[in-house]
Homo-oligomer: A and B are copies of this chain.
Amino acid sequence: MKFYDCKTAPSPRRVRVFLAEKGVEIETVQVDLASGEQLGDAFKAVNPDCVVPVLQLDDGQCITEVVAICSYIEALHPEPALMGETPLDKAAVLMWNAKVEQQGLSAMADAFRNSASGLRERALPGPDAYAQIPELAVRGRARVEHFMRRLDERLAECTYVAGDFFSIADITALAFVDFAAWIKIPLPDDAVNVARWYEAVSGRPSAKA
């Protein structure tokens, strides 16, 4: 297997942390997003959607989308379980992972991609060029702040995002909080539940992946 990664991007980081939690190492290829390598013919043959992460199997088949890549790794390496063990826990993991993706990560991507000076015609990832929409950057920042409140309410109810066990939903939320800080949207001072959770998850060795 081969893992197409980009060390600076939040989505492939989620797979790196997942692999580190499993103690699994996979041959890794860095894709240089800054120079547009993902838009070239060589990478398009790997993933026509022009995004990382990608997991390429030995027969050449490619799996994209973080949740799909991680479900495959979970099936090959079940321990420790990071996608839930019972039907209800599995559903809670998929639910919270989706909420963090849609309400957190995608809002953050709106905020970042619609304001970064290097991305004027690249407001969305993928093969098609879309111009920035400045109002979308403003809306994205507001949504990120709302979602931090929502996450704080959730983490008042349980130890980790999907329940009382560590899962991919925590990895997704970690990528969200860290990338939000990088685009200068820090956690609110009174988000004490997120702060307690963040100290625990960012202190795990996997968070350095």
Contact = CB atoms under 8 A, between A and B. Distances in A.
Contact-residue size bin, chain A (C-beta under 8 Å from the other chain): 35 or more
A117 interface: no
Of A92, A94, A126, A143, which is in contact with the most chain B CB atoms at under 10 Å from its CB?
Answer: A94
A65 B99 contact: yes
A136 B130 CA distance: 11
Interface string A111-130: 00000000000001010101
Given A94-B67, A130-B139, A75 B61 contact: no
B92 A63 contact: yes
B65 A95 contact: yes
Nearest to A135: B133
A71 interface: yes
A65 B169 CA distance: 14
Interface string A23-47: 0000000000000000000000000
A98 interface: yes
A75 B99 contact: no
A95 B71 CA distance: 10
Given A87-B75, A88-B72, A91-B72, A67 B133 contact: no
6 contacts: A61-B88, A65-B94, A67-B98, A71-B87, A124-B143, A133-B139
Interface of A: 48-49, 57, 61, 63-65, 67-69, 71-72, 75-76, 87-88, 90-92, 94-95, 98-99, 103, 106, 124, 126, 128, 130, 133, 135-136, 139, 142-143, 146, 150, 153
